[in-house]
């Protein structure tokens, strides 16, 4: 009996050793090449991105085959001109207005035609921007409240981007801009963490008129649930003000040496060229971009955000995530947006006035 | 108030028990207690999709962790997908897993598992039998869309006391039955409790000893359940039953850490952080039923019951620190409570007006209480600042009334033709919204030959209860909510038909097909939050449709000591959520093929060997279908063309078990069971990621988690 148990134990151990927890498997090669189209028409300009979508299985490079798409950009059924920017990007500067019907058709050799359509949504109207300072523990936080001309309704979608721009004036009269995009904070204090939900933090990257890549230009998606009536409030600073201050404000008294890193930081990394300018001062102001998104735009962006949780979906724990598409015959999105902007000065208005002359930000309040 | 209302209902049930104690004597009604006894063979019943499992079958065979499990038995049947490995998922004919009606002695049970789904709530020691309907639902069942699991506990022995003790790998069970008044009243009770917490005690003592006095760790998990059934026979034709089920899971964890320090003023203090988590969830049911036979042709079963399923999650954290300025204290308390309670009345009648009709009719009324509440409070006290207190509380409650009435007639049209025609009407009222549901149920049986039967059925089912869950897991944070103005009742329509044969002695062969549509399904649309909001919860769910179709084949051979069964399922399951995706897409449990081979061999007097082999097409996941090529910021990005576009590697597993059972001359039985789950240690894919090889080729890399699990259990029956 003892021998039997030993044999069973040895066999069990051996079986366990024989197996690894990794199971490679081949993927079904069912996808066909398609046209990828992303077009987000906006009132002032429309950027189109057209790329070759190769089946993931069997593809190796990111370059792909030569690809010369034929594009038709129609506004209310009338073709509009656009310009080729290279890298598969195209732009139209024709202004659009609320209610314009946009249709984009793309054809390419050996690929099925792709087309998508959308309608430009109404422009949101920010009627008031109020910035208040609150003392929380030992920190000072600023709460921003945007008031719209009406309360958003269910089924309406919005997005918000906040750009903090620091303008640096040099003694020679030139100036530089340093832009940092920040997300609207929903907490003034860590203790409030039980009162927010992840719905307040749905963020995707929106830059140069397209949704793409890294989260350096975050747009926070909003639905009517995030508004209280016609107001949307957020904190400009985190409860950990010191941390954020260290990232966004410059200590002019203790400027570091102009080493390579510092040059990188300012985006002026000109090899072999030393920047000898001397800063005279800086000003910081905030620009708030409030977007009204068409349903397609929102769904595409939300699906992009949810793809961050693919690992949970693939563990069978949450519903599947995928890339939303409203492009018939292809992949991608044709979805419009409209935008309103509010801005306000954060500090050193004298410098800003000096730099911008008679055109300070519209929200400027001395 | 909660406790009070429970006590009132249980007390009312007891009153009903006493009130009917004086009913007149009637003749033997053993048949009345077993109105479903005629359905023993699939071939003989009019309904399609019915499987009956006897209690004895449940207690033999392979038992994972040494605990026989009803749900895991059902998962092996054709037409059923199991979902995640080892869990108590039951996805019947393309269902969602939360659309199965579980009845324990006729009482609906909402929480059907322990340990997050690892074990089902049913103690098999007390189960007499269960009827599992996948289609062809008789009109007497309602309230769920996809299946009915009707579990009946066994009445206690009226003659003598006997029982059993079992010890498994992680739990122990005890069962005792016998007469209270011989030939009149009997009891049958069962208790089950896990003993993992006993294992963790020495581990914690060791860990705390090693950590020293500055850190104390605490943690324990225990699940327990209790079943009791009392049967009283006023006469052979008048039987009273009272049943109680209580089950609970308890999880607690804690950490207390101290850090001595000396502040700048030279004083000694200690920083102290404490964390405590407590989770408790479970169910309680109580029922009293009276079965009565009025002459030869009429009998009734009247019942009053109460069912409760609840969860209570608590989290506490405090941090106390010192600095030169003084003491700072931060504390947080979080609690999450939810329950569904249901009180109901049922009256079911069986009438045989003549040899050609068997009429069943009845009515029921259920009153539901739905409640969920979350509370968060935090306090902060900093030196030199006024203490701050923050908090938030949200709660949601509904009360709903659900009366229903049904009638069905089993009509023997000819000697070989039987029609079961029924109709069920249910009303559901929540707040100011009333929903109506008219549900036709028709089944038709044609005996083509004494050994060949053909059947066809059509059924409509509705469901007014929705499981609000952010994840596909049986978590305490899940809660049940009723149909409201914005969440419509779920509906299913199903057509099923098949051929059932016994071509040779001891051998049966059945083929059954189905087509099922489901409307108003809900799926959570806010996967960016793992706890669905309570207020306006409907807005976090997207409504859609589903459909499923397929074919099941069963072949069985049963000849004394050898029993062999083979099951095969060919099926398709699709979903359509327009807010989510523009077209129909596969369900995550869309397993195209499923095969189960089961063998039981009783040999050498004391031994029985059990082998179950399971194989099915892999579950579905979402993988990138395309990669964007070119230049620019979007180049190299993946595109996920459609949900659930990829199949995981096929699943297969062999479970083996052997029983050594010996009965002494005094009638006592000792049984030793060795069960080996996943006997050849094939790690089945649970999840997967996209992988690239050195050449940049894409492939899938899946990960398996559940290895071979051998368990030994011991049972003593007396």
The residue with greater pLDDT, B630 or A347, is B630
- The domain in which residue B29 lies consists of 1-43
DSSP string, A88-107: TEEEE-----TT-EEEEEEE
Tell me the residue length of chain B: 718
Q: Are residues B396 and B305 in the same domain?
A: yes
ipTM: 0.80
Compare B31 and A226 and report the one with higher pLDDT: A226
Closest residue in chain B to residue A315, using alpha carbons only:
B687
Selection from B347, B345, B225, B224 nearest residue B287 by Cα: B345
pLDDT at residue B611, as a whole number = 95
Q: What is the mean pLDDT of residues B553-565?
A: 92
Residue B634 has pLDDT above 90, yes or no: no
Give the mean model confidence (pLDDT) for residues B80-85.
Answer: 88
Q: Is the Cβ of A63 closer than 8 Å to some Cβ of chain B?
A: yes
Mean pLDDT of A187-215: 75
pLDDT tens profile A31-85: 789 999 999 998 888 999 999 998 887 766 556 677 889 999 999 999 999 999 8
For residue A356, CA distances in Å to A165, A167, A174, A340, B445 come to 13, 10, 12, 21, 88
pLDDT at B45: 85
Verify that B535 and B679 share a domain, yes or no.
Answer: yes
CB A174 within 8 A of CB A354: no
Note the pLDDT of residue B528: 53
B-contacting residues of A 3-42, CB under 8 Å?
8, 12, 15-16, 18-28, 30-31, 33-34, 36, 38
| Closest residue of chain B to A139, computed from CA coordinates | B385
- Pairwise pLDDT comparison (B285 vs A259), residue with the higher score: B285
Residues of A in contact with B701 (CB under 8 A): 22-25
| Same domain? B25 vs B48 | no
Residue B241 has pLDDT above 90, yes or no: yes
* Secondary structure element (H or E) that encloses residue B419, with its range: strand B417-430
Check A61 against B696: CB less than 8 A apart.
Answer: yes
Band (A265; pLDDT cuts 50, 70, 90): very low
Burial of B83 (0-12, 13-18, 19+ CB in 10 A): buried
Round the average pLDDT of chain B to a whole number and report it: 86
State the Cα–Cα distance between residues B674 and B64, nearest whole angstrom. 10
Q: How far from the centroid of its chain's Cα atoms is residue A26's Cα?
A: 34
Find the mean pLDDT for residues B72-96: 90
- B629–A51 C-beta distance less than 8 A: yes
- What is the pLDDT averaged over residues B133-160? 95
Region B13-38: mean pLDDT is 34
Q: How confident is the model at residue B201, as a pLDDT? A: 85
User: Where do we find the tokens 């009293």?
Assistant: B288
Q: What is the mean pLDDT of residues B194-217?
A: 84
| Closest chain B residue by Cα to residue A58 | B697
Question: Is residue A239 pLDDT above 60, yes or no?
Answer: no
B54 and B37 inside one domain: no
Mean pLDDT of B98-107: 94
- Residue B39 shares a structural domain with residue B76: no
Percent over 90 (pLDDT), chain B: 55
* Confidence (pLDDT) at A356: 57
Average pLDDT, chain A: 77
Count of domains forming chain B: 2
Indicate if the pLDDT at residue A1 is higher than 70. Answer: no
For residues B528 and B418, state if they share a domain.
yes
The answer, for A137 touching chain B at a CB cutoff of 8 Å, is yes
pLDDT digits (tens, 9 = 90+) for A311-332: 777 777 777 777 788 999 999 9
Tell me if A317 and B471 make a contact (CB, 8 A cut-off).
yes
Asked if B640 lies within 8 A of A321 by C-beta distance, the reply is: yes
Contact A306 B528 (CB under 8 A): yes
Q: Give me B113's structure tokens.
A: 């598992």
Indicate if B123 and B165 belong to the same structural domain. Answer: yes
8 Å CB contact of A138 and B385: yes
Query: Quick one: B604 exposed, middle or buried, by C-beta within 10 A (0-12, 13-18, 19+)?
Result: exposed
Q: What is the CATH number of the domain that holds B76?
A: 2.40.170.20
Question: Contact A314/B632, CB-based, under 8 Å?
Answer: no
A residues 266-305 lying closer than 8 A (beta carbon) to B: 299, 305
Measure CB to CB from residue B639 to each of A27, A53, A62 and give the nearest one: A53
CB distance A317–B473 less than 8 Å?
yes
**CA distance readout (Å), A55 to A27, A35, B439, B700:** 11, 11, 47, 14
Here the tokens at position B216 are 């104390």
Please indicate whether residue B115 or residue B231 has the higher confidence score (pLDDT).
Answer: B231
Let me know whether B27 and B91 are in one domain: no
Residue by residue, DSSP assigns B442-468 as EEEEEEEETTEEEEEEEEEEEE-EEEE
Judge whether residue B361 has pLDDT over 50: yes
Q: How much is the pLDDT for B214?
A: 83
- For residue A214, give how far its alpha carbon lies from the nearest alpha carbon of chain B (Å): 9
Which of A54, A319, A322 lies at the smallest CB-CB distance from B627?
Answer: A54
CA distance to partner chain B, nearest, from residue A229 (Å): 16
Does one domain contain both B38 and B86?
no
DSSP string, B225-243: EEEEEEEEEEETTEEEEEE
A316 with B631: Cβ contact below 8 A? no
Looking at chain B, which residue has its C-alpha nearest residue A24? B701
Residue B560's pLDDT band, with cuts at 50, 70 and 90, is confident
Q: What would the mean pLDDT of B402-429 be, rounded to a whole number?
A: 95
Do B161 and B19 share a domain, yes or no?
A: no
Alpha helices in chain A (DSSP H): 2-18, 241-248, 260-266, 295-306, 310-313, 349-356
Partner-chain contact A315 B471, CB within 8 Å: no
> Percentage of chain A surpassing pLDDT 70?
71
Backbone dihedral region for residue B404 (phi beyond 0: left; psi -120 to 50: alpha; all else: beta): beta
Least confident of B13-22, B250-259, B561-570: B13-22
> For A187-201, B205-219, B438-452, B545-559, which range has the lowest pLDDT when averaged over its residues?
A187-201
- Note the pLDDT of residue A285: 77
Distance in angstroms (rounded) separating the CA atoms of residues B644 and B206: 46
Among all chains, which residue has been given the structure tokens 């030199």?
B384
Residue A254 clears pLDDT 70, i.e. is over it: no
Cα A72 to its chain centre, rounded Å, is 27
More confident residue, B609 or A305: B609
Is A322 in contact with B622 (Cβ distance < 8 A)? yes
| Burial state string for B277-296 with b = 16 or more CB within 10 A and e = fewer than 16 | bebbbbbbbbbbbbbbbeee
Taking the mean position of all CA atoms in its chain, how far away is CA A365?
A: 29
Q: How far apart are the CA of A202 and the nearest CA of chain B, in angstroms?
A: 7
For the ranges A253-257, A333-337, A345-349, B548-552, the lowest mean pLDDT is seen at A253-257
What mean pLDDT comes out for the span A347-365? Answer: 52
Q: Which of A30, A33, A322 is nearest residue B643 as measured by Cβ atoms?
A: A322
Mean pLDDT of B93-99: 93
Distance (Å) of CA B393 to CA B10, B210, B314, B335, B572:
31, 40, 14, 10, 44
Residue-level pLDDT at B142 = 95
Of A9-23, A146-160, B451-465, the poorest mean pLDDT is in A9-23
Span B466-486, pLDDT tens digits: 988 877 777 777 889 999 988
| pLDDT class of B701 with cuts at 50, 70, 90 | confident
What lies within 8 Å, CB to CB, of A78 at 6+ separation is: none
Answer yes or no: do B630 and A61 touch at CB < 8 A. Answer: no
Q: Is A140 exposed, middle or buried (0-12, 13-18, 19+ CB in 10 A)?
A: exposed
Q: CB–CB of B87/B77 below 8 Å?
A: no
Q: Rounded to an integer, what distance in angstroms lies between the CA atom of residue B279 and that of residue B91?
A: 27
Q: Is residue A364 over pLDDT 50? A: no
Asked if A323's CB is within 8 angstroms of B641's CB, the reply is yes
Of all residues in chain B, the one with the smallest CA distance to A192 is B390
> What pLDDT, in 10s, does the model give residues B392-414?
788 889 999 999 999 999 999 99
B645 with B666, same domain: the answer is yes
Is the separation of the CB atoms in B458 and B494 below 8 Å? yes
What is the C-alpha to C-alpha distance for residues B97 and B80, in angstroms, rounded to an integer?
10
Q: Which of A137, A208, A216, A315 should we substitute to test contact with B (largest number of B Cβ atoms within 10 Å)?
A: A315
Per-residue pLDDT for A363 more than 60? Answer: no
From the number of C-beta atoms within 10 Å of its C-beta (0-12, 13-18, 19+), residue B57 rates as middle
8 Å CB contact of B628 and A313: no
CB contact under 8 Å between B530 and A198, yes or no, is yes
Q: What is the 3-state secondary structure (H, E, C) of A245-313?
A: HHHHCCCHHHCCCCCHHHHHHHCCCCCCCCCCCCEEEEEEEEEEEEEEECHHHHHHHHHHHHHHHHHHH
B704 neighbourhood in chain A, CB within 8 Å: 19, 21, 23
Residues B612, B655: contact at Cβ < 8 Å?
Answer: yes
- pLDDT 10s digits, A94-152: 899 999 999 999 999 889 999 999 999 999 999 998 888 877 666 677 888 999 999 99
Distance to chain A for B288, nearest Cα, Å: 39
Number of residue pairs across A and B with CB atoms under 8 Å? 253
B294 and B173 in one domain? yes
**Residue partners of B8: CB distance under 8 A and separation at least 6:** none
Which residues, including other chains, have CB under 8 Å from residue B390's CB and lie 6 or more apart? A189, A191, A192, A195, B377, B378, B379
Of A23, A53, A325, the CB nearest to B702: A23
Secondary element (H or E) of residue B392: strand B388-414
Instruction: State residue B13's pLDDT score.
Output: 41
Residues 6+ apart with CB under 8 A from B462: B142, B143, B145, B426, B437, B439, B489, B490, B491, B492
Of the residues A1, A56, A69, A213, the best mutation for testing chain B's interface (the one with the most B CB atoms within 10 Å of its CB) is A56
Q: Which among A287, A223, A208 has a CA at the least distance from the CA of A40?
A: A208
pLDDT of residue B27: 30
């Amino acid at each position: 009996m003892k021998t039997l148990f030993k044999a069973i134990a040895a066999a069990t151990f051996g079986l366990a050793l024989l197996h690894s927890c990794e199971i490679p498997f081949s993927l079904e090669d069912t996808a066909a090449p398609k046209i990828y189209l992303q077009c987000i028409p906006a009132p002032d300009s429309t950027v189109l991105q057209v790329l070759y979508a190769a089946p993931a299985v069997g593809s190796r490079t990111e370059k792909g085959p030569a690809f010369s798409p034929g594009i038709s950009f129609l506004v209310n059924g009338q073709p509009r001109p656009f310009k080729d920017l290279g890298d598969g990007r195209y732009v139209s500067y024709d202004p659009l207005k609320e209610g314009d019907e946009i249709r984009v058709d793309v054809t390419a050799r050996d690929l099925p035609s792709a087309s998508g359509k959308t309608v430009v949504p109404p422009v949101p109207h920010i009627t008031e921007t109020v910035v208040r300072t609150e003392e929380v523990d030992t920190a000072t936080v600023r709460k921003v409240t945007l008031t719209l001309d009406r309360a958003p309704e269910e089924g309406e979608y919005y997005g918000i981007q906040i750009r903090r721009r620091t303008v640096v004036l040099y003694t020679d009269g030139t100036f530089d801009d340093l832009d940092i995009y920040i997300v609207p904070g929903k907490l003034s204090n860590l203790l409030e963490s039980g009162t927010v939900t992840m719905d307040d933090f749905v963020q995707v990257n929106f830059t140069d008129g397209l949704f793409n890549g890294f989260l350096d230009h975050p747009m926070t998606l909003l639905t009517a649930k995030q508004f209280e009536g016609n107001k949307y409030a957020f904190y400009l600073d985190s409860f950990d003000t010191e941390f954020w201050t260290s990232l966004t404000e410059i200590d002019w008294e203790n400027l570091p040496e102009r080493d390579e890193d510092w040059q990188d930081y300012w985006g002026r990394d000109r090899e072999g060229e030393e920047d000898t300018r001397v800063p005279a001062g800086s000003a910081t102001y905030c620009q708030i971009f409030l977007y009204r998104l068409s349903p397609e735009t929102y769904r595409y962006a939300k699906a992009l955000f949810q793809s961050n949780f693919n690992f949970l979906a693939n563990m069978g724990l949450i519903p599947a995530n995928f890339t939303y598409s409203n492009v018939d015959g292809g992949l991608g999105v044709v979805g419009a947006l409209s935008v309103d902007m509010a801005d306000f000065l954060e500090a050193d208005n004298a410098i800003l006035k000096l730099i911008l002359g008679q055109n300070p930000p519209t929200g400027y309040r001395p | 108030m909660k406790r009070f209302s429970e006590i009132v209902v249980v007390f009312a049930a007891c009153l009903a028990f006493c009130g009917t104690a004086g009913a007149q004597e009637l003749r033997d009604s053993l048949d009345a207690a077993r109105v479903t006894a005629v359905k023993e063979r699939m071939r003989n019943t009019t309904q399609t999709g019915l499987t009956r499992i006897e209690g004895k079958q449940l207690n033999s065979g392979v038992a994972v962790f040494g605990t026989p499990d009803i749900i895991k038995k059902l998962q092996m049947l054709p037409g059923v997908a199991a979902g995640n490995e080892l869990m108590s998922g039951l996805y019947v004919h393309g269902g969602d897993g939360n659309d199965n009606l579980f009845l324990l002695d006729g009482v609906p049970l909402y929480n059907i598992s322990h340990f997050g789904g690892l074990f089902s709530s049913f103690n098999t020691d007390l189960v007499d039998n269960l009827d599992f309907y996948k289609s062809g639902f008789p009109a007497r069942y309602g309230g769920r869309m996809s299946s009915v699991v009707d579990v009946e506990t066994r009445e206690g022995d009226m003659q003598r006391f006997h029982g059993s003790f079992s010890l498994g790998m992680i739990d122990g069970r005890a069962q005792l039955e016998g007469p209270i008044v011989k030939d009149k009243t009997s009891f049958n009770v069962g208790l089950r409790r896990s003993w993992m917490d006993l294992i963790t005690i020495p581990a914690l003592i060791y860990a705390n000893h090693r950590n020293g006095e500055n850190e104390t760790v605490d943690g324990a998990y225990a699940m327990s359940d209790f079943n009791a059934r009392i049967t009283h026979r006023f006469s052979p034709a008048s039987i009273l039953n009272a049943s109680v089920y209580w089950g609970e899971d308890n999880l607690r964890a804690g950490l207390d850490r101290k850090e001595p320090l000396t502040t700048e003023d030279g004083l000694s203090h200690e920083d102290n952080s404490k964390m405590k988590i407590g989770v408790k969830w479970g169910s309680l049911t109580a029922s009293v039923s009276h079965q009565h036979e009025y002459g030869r042709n009429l009998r009734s079963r009247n019942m009053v019951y109460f069912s409760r399923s609840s969860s209570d999650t608590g989290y506490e954290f405090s941090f106390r620190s010192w600095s030169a300025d003084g003491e700072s204290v931060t504390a947080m308390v979080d609690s999450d409570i939810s329950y569904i309670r249901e009180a109901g009345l049922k009256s079911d009648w069986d009438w045989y007006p003549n040899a050609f009709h068997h009429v069943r009719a009845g009515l029921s009324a259920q009153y539901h209480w739905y409640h969920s509440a979350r509370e968060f409070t935090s306090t902060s006290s900093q030196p030199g600042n006024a203490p701050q207190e923050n908090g938030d509380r949200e709660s949601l409650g509904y009360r709903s009334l659900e009366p229903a009435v049904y009638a069905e007639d089993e009509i023997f049209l000819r000697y070989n033709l039987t029609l079961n025609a029924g109709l069920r009407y249910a009303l559901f009222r929540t707040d100011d919204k009333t929903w109506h549901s008219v549900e036709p149920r028709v089944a038709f049986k044609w005996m083509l030959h004494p050994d060949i039967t053909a059947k066809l059925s059509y059924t409509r089912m509705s469901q007014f209860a929705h499981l609000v869950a952010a994840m596909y897991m049986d978590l305490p944070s899940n809660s049940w909510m009723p149909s409201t103005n914005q969440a419509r009742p779920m509906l299913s329509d199903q057509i099923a038909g098949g051929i059932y044969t016994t071509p040779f002695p001891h051998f049966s062969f059945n083929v059954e097909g189905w087509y099922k549509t489901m409307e108003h399904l809900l799926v959570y649309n806010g996967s960016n939050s793992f706890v669905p909001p309570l207020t306006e919860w409907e807005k976090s769910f997207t409504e859609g449709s589903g459909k499923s179709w397929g074919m099941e084949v069963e072949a069985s051979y049963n000849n004394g000591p050898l029993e062999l069964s083979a099951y095969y399922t060919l099926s398709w399951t699709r979903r359509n959520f327009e807010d989510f995706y523009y077209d129909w897409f596969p369900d995550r449990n869309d397993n195209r093929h499923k095969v189960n081979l089961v063998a039981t061999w009783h040999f050498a007097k004391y031994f029985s060997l059990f082998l179950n082999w399971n194989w099915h097409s892999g579950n579905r996941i979402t993988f990138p279908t395309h990669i964007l090529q070119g230049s620019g910021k979007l180049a190299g990005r993946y595109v996920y063309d459609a949900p659930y576009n990829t199949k995981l590697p096929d699943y297969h597993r062999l479970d083996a078990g052997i029983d050594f059972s010996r009965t002494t001359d005094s009638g006592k039985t000792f049984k030793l069971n060795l069960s080996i789950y996943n006997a050849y240690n094939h790690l089945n894919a649970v999840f997967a990621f996209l992988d690239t090889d050195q050449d940049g080729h894409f492939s899938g890399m899946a990960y398996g988690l559940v290895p071979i699990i051998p368990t030994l259990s011991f049972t003593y029956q007396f």
